[in-house]
Structure 1
Amino acid sequence: MSPDDPFTTGDARPAAARHGGRALVASEIGFVFRRRRTWAMLAALALIPVLIGVVVRVTSSGPPAGRGPQFLSQITDNGLFVGLTALVVSIPLFLPLTVGVVAGDTIAGEAGAGTLRYLLVAPAGRVRLLGVKYIGAAVFCLSAVLAVVVAGTVIGLILFPVGPVPLLSGETISVAQSLGRLLLVAAFVCVSLLGMTAIGLFISTLTDVPVGAMAATIVLAVVSQVLDSLPQLSWLHPWLFSHYWLEFAGLLRSPISWDAFGANSLLQLGYIAMFGALAYARFTTKDVLS
């Protein structure tokens, strides 16, 4: 019987909804990763650690201690630092740039292409479509961070010696434990970008021009970091979505300090809730003409 049949059993409708939701999520993720632009951005991110590793290898030595990006001077001693250094380099600009492109395109891209109204004809509805679009962008966040980490780890293994890694607290851990810490840092960075993704989703509901939504999202990320660097605005810093982006040092100590991870997660959750609600309010009342 059809899910719309009044004589359908009580469990059929929820089952159909769950199946439809999974299908929509899978379709959206497939859509994101079928685009050439997505793979071009992931390739560009993966190129960052490759360039760092090759330059350090060719020059035979890193910069003096305290010069250059954090951890750069330690790459020649241990290739596992390539991925960590690449993350530090990518967080202020490159990762927000790529995430801003995907997040800003979520709704505005469909509207600009004239496909949004056809998506809304489907049983998904506007609320579910917002959720599916956000999940697709969040999956890209994870993929972007992993592209940097995996490429950095591989090039580090190829070009440099690899061994036990000294932590910031002075202890030394094995290679396997080091890879686990690197994945924790990657998870921290991924969580850090989820609030920005929600902001991009909201901005995307405000316009039918995807380039405008992308640019606005990226500009806000830059502005947030600039404001976070001004000591005169120290009262505002804990509320900025970029405030904890580089605060993962606690994950590189023994024992691990989860304070920054917890504070960052709560902050990003707040941004997701706030801008998710704004996106819902805007999108559910928006006249879709394209």
Structure 2
Amino acid sequence: MSRVERGRTKGSGDTAGSPEAGPNSGRASVAWPLLASELSVLFRRVRTWAMLAALAAVPVLIAVAVKLSSRPTAPGRGPLFLDRISQNGLFVAVTALVVCVPLFLPLTVGVVAGDTLAGEASIGTLRYLLLAPTGRTRLLLVKYAGAVAFCCAATATVAAAGALAGVVFFPVGPVTLLSGETVSVGEAAVRSLLIAAYATVSLIGLSAIGLLISTMTDVPVGAMAATIVLAVVSQVLDTLPQMDWLHPWLFSHHWVGFADLLRQPISWASFGDNLLLQGGYIAVCGALAYANFSNKDVLS
């Protein structure tokens, strides 16, 4: 057991054994420290920072490739907005998100979400985390909150690295939107943040799926792999016209639907549809995860 894990286990036991804390006060006092401990453990791992560094490298590589190219990118070739990067560096972040959302972001999120509970079970700390007054429901919520925090950090990393690379390698100025209007640099930056928020929303449903799978096994690698495979399968099914009836129910269906945020006025329909779909997956997978985890015999 690592030093961080021992510290977290010891903190939980001290709270549970305090003679001055009643049941309700003990539960309230352990919730925030447990979340803080979860975030601390998550963001102290070398693996987490390695994944964030890999995500940050994507927009940098895109910017360098466009900068060193001897000919301009033809419209319609490559990822969306790639042909606009040389004209305005603010499009580096948007293009990077288009590239990362289908594969790189689900890959990293699948690793974190699949490791939530299965990782604790594999190193033998799960039963210590379940000591009163933590409770299984609270632990599930804390683990999911940690996965969502990583989703936010991952998309923010891509957007920030893209913005920085765009400023360094290309001119930055007013942005011409898809609808033809031109907006200021400040408003364009706000829209980039909205696109990053859209990408984060797209991933929270996948995090819930990963959490559910993580309650089903004590092998974190298996949970990670299953989560990533489901993300790939969902996107493959979404490209098949024979599966039109299934497309609106696939959690990846709205993942790259943030083009409406680059119109004037902004159309919030796709954002709302995506949020509703991901919320449905959170509700269903969260309920199934609770049902499975609340009845699970934890031996490690």
TM-score (norm 1): 0.95
Instruction: Tell me the residue number matched to 2:256.
Output: 246
Q: CA deviation at 1:122?
A: 4.1
Instruction: Tell me the residue number matched to 2:193.
Output: 183
Instruction: Tell me the residue number matched to 1:10.
Output: none
Q: CA deviation at 1:21?
A: 1.2
Instruction: Tell me the residue number matched to 2:163.
Output: 153
The letter for the 1-side match of 2:20 is S
2:38 counterpart of 1:35? no
Instruction: Tell me the residue number matched to 1:105.
Output: 115
1:157-236 equivalence runs, <5 A: 157-236=167-246
Instruction: Tell me the residue number matched to 2:88.
Output: 78
Q: Distance in 1 between matches of 2:46 and 2:289?
A: 27
Asked if the contact 1:198–1:275 (Cα under 8 Å) also holds between the matched residues in 2, the reply is: yes
Change (3 A) 1:125 1:62: farther
The letter for the 2-side match of 1:271 is Y
The letter for the 2-side match of 1:139 is A
Asked if the contact 1:96–1:218 (Cα under 8 Å) also holds between the matched residues in 2, the reply is: yes
The letter for the 2-side match of 1:248 is F
1:23-102 equivalence runs, <5 A: 23-102=33-112
Change (3 A) 1:87 1:44: same
Structure 1 unmatched runs, 5+: 6-12
CA deviation string 1:60-84 (max 9, x = no partner):
4442111111100110000000000
Task: Point out 4+ residue stretches in structure 1 off by more than 3 angstroms.
Answer: 16-19
Identity value in percent: 65
Asked if the contact 1:28–1:132 (Cα under 8 Å) also holds between the matched residues in 2, the reply is: yes
**Which stretch of structure 1 is more off in the superposition, 19-28 or 83-92?**
19-28
1:119-130 equivalence runs, <5 A: 119-130=129-140
RMSD over equivalenced CA pairs, Å? 1.1
Asked if the contact 1:188–1:248 (Cα under 8 Å) also holds between the matched residues in 2, the reply is: yes
Asked if the contact 2:27–2:133 (Cα under 8 Å) also holds between the matched residues in 1, the reply is: no
Structure 2 unmatched runs, 5+: 1-18
Instruction: Tell me the residue number matched to 1:2.
Output: 20
Q: CA deviation at 1:96?
A: 0.2
The letter for the 2-side match of 1:104 is G
Q: Distance in 2 between matches of 1:150 and 1:231?
A: 36
The letter for the 2-side match of 1:162 is V
In the alignment of these two chains, the number of paired residues is 282
Instruction: Tell me the residue number matched to 1:144.
Output: 154
Q: Distance in 1 between matches of 2:72 and 2:286?
A: 44
**Which stretch of structure 1 is more off in the superposition, 124-133 or 60-69?**
60-69
The letter for the 1-side match of 2:277 is L
TM-score (norm 2): 0.92
CA deviation string 1:183-214 (max 9, x = no partner):
00000110010000000000000000000000
